[in-house]
Amino acid sequence: MTRSDQSAKFYQGKPRLDPPPDADFWVFAYGSLIWRPGFPHLEVKRGLLRGYHRRFCVYSHTYRGTPDRPGLVLGLDRGGSCHGLVYRVPAAEGEWVMDYLHDREMVLGVYDPRWLAVDTDDGRVMAAGFVVDPGHPQYAGDISRAEMVRLIRQGEGRGGPCVDYLRNTVAHLDALDMHDHTLHELLREVDGAT
């Protein structure tokens, strides 16, 4: 059985994105892929995705929490827009990178893998991305702000504390001059500032 065959079972019936045959392709990053892509790439550009926004809307039971003490992580939720990065992946690494991304992002099937239209300074590219499935039990789109803060404060999993994930996201977006005021405000609340 190939790695792709094994992965297909792991993704709970969600379709695996196939890289284009014999062509480079792009991957959209909006959270931890910004500072830790973990895959080979030839080029990085700033990108703007319309129709989705970055939001802490996914319960984390593995990377940033546990089933007993869930954390909260980012998802691309419907509406608005999202500044991020796009990575150009070499065609020769396409299968490996797509398997890697699915292994990383599709642990519990809370995301839907899609090709997304992302605007860059050099024009529009189609990029692989993972948007949150609002019908999944780990979707946390309707929780209160207070509950969001509580989950981020308590969450810790095999990827470390949830609050570190928030801090890393804010710091790396700031370093790229992509200030996300909503995340800054959330971090102030998590840190206990008024």
Catalytic residue among 43, 93, 105, 185: 105
3-state SS of 156-185? EECCEEHHHHHHHHHHHHHHCCCCCHHHHH
Catalytic, 105? Answer yes
**Residues with active-site annotation:** 105
